Structure 1
């Protein structure tokens, strides 16, 4: 039986020899860190085999074997090492081939996940790349839709600015040149100019609000308010417009439901919906604003008598500058930003907004989470 002391010495020399080879392999890997995976795998395989072989060689030299036994041991070690390096190279080639398949899939346009089986890590990377490409495609579609909306917005705003500006210029020149001098006409011109200025100021305010929403800089100052208070304020604020057009405006809300919202911003969104409903409802029509609770969410519906919205236009109602068919064209002008602003404000509160045809017109619905 070999004494324990001798075994410890053998283990020490074998470990020292293997450690020297391992250190050399690590240094070589550091120098080749920017090379291909195949080269690095080859270095790992060779270093592993040489570390084992070096330990065995050292042991054969220390054990004072005769020439025959030493030659046999070294032959066995060399043969085993050669086979081990071959297996290592084969496995490395398979891994490199799988990596090449993934690279070719990434270079393809459009990207498709590889159909061949991959190692677990590369398969996980392929799934993550697939998800990333889906997110990029969705972001690209949103960017294209937003760019189209911006172009449409510029066209609409240019048209809506040009008309009142031309009218104000004509009236200002008439006043300046003395073409009109009677008191009644001068007063009417001044009143008309003031109305157009207020309208343009509202358009500029809407553009500023929409830019904050799109830029993600809309600041909400939340406070606890009642849903019934929001409905009452929206109805009271649009009552003069409804009365002037001959539209009946009704508002009601169930028991007070507390909300943690920015009352000013959310009130603006709700007023936009009510104003939109009044403008598109014919005289003697009715607009109803109803607040309540549905599936644990605060719910406000604004129903009008506009005659309905074409089904193809429903998904685009909240797009920037969308006006749709003649039945939805605002009688009072505007840049078509009210509904887009309403959607941005509601979504900033963590809520949802939608529209559907119902009865003699359509119904806009806002859903908001109640206060915690």
Structure 2
């Protein structure tokens, strides 16, 4: 949107520039903040929210795990433990239920020997040789026929010397011997679903042999359980450990087998879980939500972990709207701040105007952004002060004029009444005396009429507009007709009026109005020209402009008076002059009429020669730079009130006044004058003088008049008002 005021354009640049800059800075900072939060904070916050609202769950793959081990022979239905029970039976131990009580003492001694061996290994694995020798010694004392720690899983049964082989063989085959917890034979029997009290002697000896093999091979039940599904029971884990001991697996080999089986079981369980419905998946993991949102994680240990993150997903769905809300809120805050800043300009301006209205001498304090407005307010204050002074001066001049006119009216009225009273009361006066008194009374009455017309002129000037009704008129004829109206008055002072309109054709004007304007200028020239001088009227014309000049020789007008000569109620001679002084409206009316024709008027005075110049558009078009026609604000469009020029008063030579008969009222008054328009309030014009070139009263250099300040209707420069000449 185009702005006419430079101040408005400056403020728009400042406000919009600051707004765009702040929006860009905020957008960049917001983007960086979002990136930083997304990178460094969101993962931690997301994990915290997810951990607070849900927990990890694993698939139960124990069935798949046991099936895989069964396929690999570690959980054979035939049960490897029974092989060692059969070997014990072949060694002479009975397999009847409850016969463990018959060899309970022997079993306890063997278990104590294994416990001492385990204790010595726990203290230091380097004691393996001493521990084996000690166990062998105790076995020989017991006379046992069972090989417990022979260094191989196929130790001969029945040979007491092989219960514990020599330490050299043991050390050679158990370089990696390590301390493991002793697995009691009762636990082994329980895992094999054999109650301890109901066990046979062969089963007890087989259980002791398994416990000794576990010590020899370094197989640990807790360590093996870490590679099994969490749901695996202790009995199942013990059975797996028993099978490993029978097969001769050491701990690393068993761990690899268990880990591989566990991974396979997890894969199988996960595949089966994916085939379930959402509700079945939730029930399989113990989740009550019917529509869960799963987060699945596959760990390095081969375990599938799942958790329901529906709550986290719901919370996460607010991330983008929340970011957008913060972004929009930031933009709105910046926009509101910019709007508040712009409104603060109006607040500052309103405060400055209020202070200026309250005290016109107060300093105008506005921010730097309102420097243009501050300067304009300073100009307005200067113009306002000048207008006040001018209005006061004009009112004072008007009041003085009214007082002067009242005094001047009373003087001729007193004379008229006196002479008429004398004529009425005295009937025997000589005829010549009567004529003399009558002529004096008539002359005073004429003066009284002129003064009353001055009052009417003020009223017309203040209340009327100037409608222009143009027609084509010859320039020479127009100037001659106006000049002829002033021949009697000029002849009374032996002043000659000449008209030079060579080369001038016709122009498009309102003849009545322009005759009034030119007549007022010419009346001024006749009134103030030197006696026995020449008043030169010259007219020149081109395609656009017709220029009419009126030059007379007389008293020079000062520059100060030229500044205000076209103002209403201005009179150069402030002394009360009943003969020359008017209301000070003649030249002001002339200016208004010329401006209404879209022309201009100016005055110059130098070396006793005063020249008034009227420039009128030849075809009625506006002259470039000329003032627009004045209008009264609120006046009705199209209403035209014809204005006819007030003809100059006819001045009879002094020698003829005493003998001529009084003219009739119609002859004296002439055509009735119409109101003269009032200029809109606040519009002032001037006709300042410029240049110092000599002036030719006959206007021999017409069109090359020295440069002068032209009267402009829109000139806002304050100036003094004075009384018209």
TM-score, scaled relative to structure 2: 0.37
CA distance in 1, matches of 2:550, 2:576: 15
Larger Rg over CA atoms: 2
Greater CA deviation, 344-353 or 329-338?
A: 329-338
CA distance in 2, matches of 1:92, 1:247: 78
Classify 1:294/1:272 alpha carbon distance in 2 versus 1 (closer, same or farther; 3 Å): same
CA distance in 2, matches of 1:185, 1:168: 20
Classify 1:143/1:282 alpha carbon distance in 2 versus 1 (closer, same or farther; 3 Å): same
SS of the equivalent of 1:363 reads strand
CA distance in 2, matches of 1:356, 1:305: 12
CA distance in 1, matches of 2:494, 2:327: 95
Q: Residue 176 in 1 paired to residue 424 in 2?
A: no
Classify 1:232/1:210 alpha carbon distance in 2 versus 1 (closer, same or farther; 3 Å): farther
SS of the equivalent of 1:259 reads strand
Classify 1:214/1:326 alpha carbon distance in 2 versus 1 (closer, same or farther; 3 Å): closer
Which residue in 2 is equivalent to 1:156? 401
Q: Deviations over 1:330-351 (max 9, x none)?
A: 8533223221221122222222
- Determine if contact 2:472/2:507 at 8 Å carries over to the other structure: yes
Which residue in 2 is equivalent to 1:88? 332
The residue correspondences of 1:142-291 to structure 2 (distance < 5 A) are 145-146=390-391, 148-177=393-422, 178=425, 181-291=429-539
- Residue 209 (structure 1) shift: 4.5
Q: Residue 116 in 1 paired to residue 369 in 2?
A: yes
CA distance in 2, matches of 1:316, 1:330: 22
Which residue in 2 is equivalent to 1:69? 313
The residue correspondences of 1:308-323 to structure 2 (distance < 5 A) are 308-323=556-571
CA distance in 1, matches of 2:474, 2:499: 14
Which residue in 2 is equivalent to 1:100? 344
Greater CA deviation, 245-254 or 140-149?
A: 140-149
Q: Deviations over 1:214-258 (max 9, x none)?
A: 445233332211121221012111011111111122122123432
> How many pairs align?
302
TM-score, scaled relative to structure 1: 0.69
- Determine if contact 1:346/1:352 at 8 Å carries over to the other structure: yes
Greater CA deviation, 218-227 or 106-115?
A: 106-115
CA distance in 2, matches of 1:326, 1:290: 31
- Residue 322 (structure 1) shift: 1.9
CA distance in 2, matches of 1:139, 1:64: 81
- Residue 108 (structure 1) shift: 0.2
Which residue in 1 is equivalent to 2:281? none
CA RMSD of aligned residues (A): 3.6
Greater CA deviation, 137-146 or 176-185?
A: 137-146
Candidates 339, 343, 352, aligned match of 2:591: 343
CA distance in 2, matches of 1:361, 1:248: 15
Q: Deviations over 1:130-157 (max 9, x none)?
A: 8799789858855763563244133224
Higher helix proportion (structure 1 or 2): 1
Which residue in 1 is equivalent to 2:168? none
- Residue 188 (structure 1) shift: 3.0
- Determine if contact 2:591/2:601 at 8 Å carries over to the other structure: yes
Classify 1:116/1:218 alpha carbon distance in 2 versus 1 (closer, same or farther; 3 Å): closer
- Residue 326 (structure 1) shift: 7.7
CA distance in 1, matches of 2:385, 2:597: 25
- Residue 279 (structure 1) shift: 1.4
SS of the equivalent of 1:362 reads strand
- Residue 206 (structure 1) shift: 4.8
CA distance in 1, matches of 2:547, 2:576: 24
- Determine if contact 1:303/1:364 at 8 Å carries over to the other structure: yes
Q: Deviations over 1:47-103 (max 9, x none)?
A: xxxxxxxxxxxxxxxx99732122112144224413431442233123202211222
Classify 1:139/1:114 alpha carbon distance in 2 versus 1 (closer, same or farther; 3 Å): same
Classify 1:209/1:325 alpha carbon distance in 2 versus 1 (closer, same or farther; 3 Å): closer
- Residue 363 (structure 1) shift: 0.5
Classify 1:159/1:290 alpha carbon distance in 2 versus 1 (closer, same or farther; 3 Å): same
Classify 1:366/1:214 alpha carbon distance in 2 versus 1 (closer, same or farther; 3 Å): farther
Classify 1:295/1:102 alpha carbon distance in 2 versus 1 (closer, same or farther; 3 Å): farther
CA distance in 2, matches of 1:261, 1:143: 36
Could you tell me which runs of 5 or more consecutive residues in structure 2 were left unpaired when the two chains were aligned.
1-290, 294-309, 357-363, 621-725
- Determine if contact 1:206/1:338 at 8 Å carries over to the other structure: no
- Determine if contact 1:298/1:367 at 8 Å carries over to the other structure: yes
- Residue 260 (structure 1) shift: 2.2
Higher strand proportion (structure 1 or 2): 1
